[in-house]
Amino acid sequence: MADQVRAELSANDSLWLTLDTPENLMIIDTVLWFHHRLDPEAVIRQVQERVVDRYPVFHWKPRFSDSPGARHAWLEDPDFDIHRHITVHELGGAGGRAEMQSFLEARMSEPLDPARPLWRAYILEGNDFGALMIRFHHAIADGTALARVLLEMTTEHPEGDYEHPEPDEDRIHPADQTGTQEPVATDRPSRRKRDRARQAVTQAATLPLAAGVQATSGAAKLLEMLDLDREGSRVALIADHAVGTADALDKILVGTPPKAPFTRPGIAKRADWAPAHDLDLVKRAAKTRGATVNDLMLAGLAGGLRRYLEARGEPISDLMTVIPVNLRPVDDPLPEQLGNKFALVTFMLPLDEDTPVDRLDEAHRRMEVIKSGPEALLTFGAIGALGIVGTFSIGASRPVIEVLLTNAIGITTNVPGPQHPRYLAGQEMVGILGWVPAAAGLSVYTCIFSYNNEIRVGFKTDVKVIPDISNLVAAYNAEMDELLGLGAQ
């Protein structure tokens, strides 16, 4: 029996499907960790009900098309078995953080099987410690959508959504604080309550990743005119109408090549993360300079890189990172196919500034400029147009993607998650991180994730570029200590 076509991939999704290289796999690596071991069968059941059943793309496999102009497609996998995608692994040794880190690093260079749905999960069992690593191919969805999927997989209470008591008739359900403020009646079906709680979680995860980057009113109108899945050529509308387009294009396509000694990446990767910081303290510190949490975290990254390079005896100059920006309306449910709906902005990390305060002030100033410009829409249009080119020739798309990203050192994501505990299979989630991939020769990936009133930064680097990732984390910690001192004064 012939495989059943479920959906064609969009231009954007098709592009990411075909950009894998051994050095940079198009895989989003995520990890959730817990104080105690997870019940494997309970985890598998929750993934089945809340991910696979809710989003059928997780039991679809790719069909690559060689026909000129034909789109790649998702096919139903008639042999789908969730136990093939989720496996259990004993960490060994001390069975803690270090062993989890080693496991993550070993998996990050492994490609996914293109003959099966493009995701894998690993339940990690340690010594009174548990974790879940999930790897998704970028063709399935962008990082923001997958953050929503991960958070929807968790529950608000340890016993899940099915057994905790209904609120009193005159109480407002906590989820309504971001919704309609309608009282929840005690006899209302449990499905509706689960849907409302789910909405509150997913809204928290879909704020713009650049913490406020928005299109100008003129650019917003242009975005309405664009349907890049059908007409990649419409990206020209932006060039004709958006204010500041010439400067933005120069920044994206020309820019200033980084002067740091970062060579092209190899295959092996490293992963590490800093201790979490109190989110209220970060807010207070940023506020002392009229800045945002996002500004302060970018300044911390800049200062950490500067300190790291100084310790290596390397020259110091500003370095460019790429920041994804969510383009999905926060109130819209995710489609079954998920897909990619994001743009990119490039940000020059202010390493040249002499002090942490100077770096914070400059990070704030540069981000304010980005917020009012058309750069995100330009890259959204470019990626969509390249996706259409990619359906004809990946050989044409990959070099252009490399031009778009050639001046950057890596990707920086900032995901604001829920500020209350979440649970998986009855266990409270302690932390969550995820690193998005990128084409071209990028080698420093930074994930900023706020959760349960804490904010944490994770680093993923290429072994050829930064083999001593712990030194980079230590340099970042030293910079953050000085910046957070502003909030303690």
Burial (0-12, 13-18, 19+ Cβ within 10 Å), 283: middle
Say which residue the tokens 């020059």 belong to: 348
Where along the chain do its domains lie? 5-204, 217-417+437-488
- pLDDT value, residue 203: 43
- pLDDT value, residue 213: 37
- Give me the residues paired with residue 461 across strands: 270, 444
Say which residue the tokens 């496996």 belong to: 87
H/E run at residue 196: helix 190-204
Backbone angles phi, psi at 211, to 5 degrees: 55, 55
CA distances from 66 to 10, 63, 71, 193, 390 (A): 16, 10, 9, 46, 11
What gap in Å lies between CA 56 and CA 328, rounded to an integer? Answer: 20
Domains 5-204 and 217-417+437-488 share a fold: yes
What gap in Å lies between CA 277 and CA 481, rounded to an integer? Answer: 10
- pLDDT value, residue 479: 98
H/E run at residue 100: helix 97-107
- pLDDT value, residue 140: 96
- pLDDT value, residue 374: 58
- CATH fold of 5-204: Chloramphenicol Acetyltransferase (3.30.559)
- pLDDT value, residue 475: 98
Q: What is the mean pLDDT of each run of 10 residues along the chain (489 residues)?
A: 78 86 93 96 96 96 79 92 97 92 96 96 95 97 92 90 42 30 34 48 39 37 40 41 43 47 81 96 96 96 97 93 82 89 85 97 91 58 48 48 70 91 96 86 90 96 93 98 89
Which ranges of 372-434 would DSSP assign to H, the alpha helix?
375-392, 394-405
Q: DSSP characters for 36-92? A: S---HHHHHHHHIIIIITT-GGGGEEEE---STTPPPEEEE-TT--HHHHEEEEE--
pTM over 0.85: no
Looking at domain 217-417+437-488, its CATH class is alpha beta
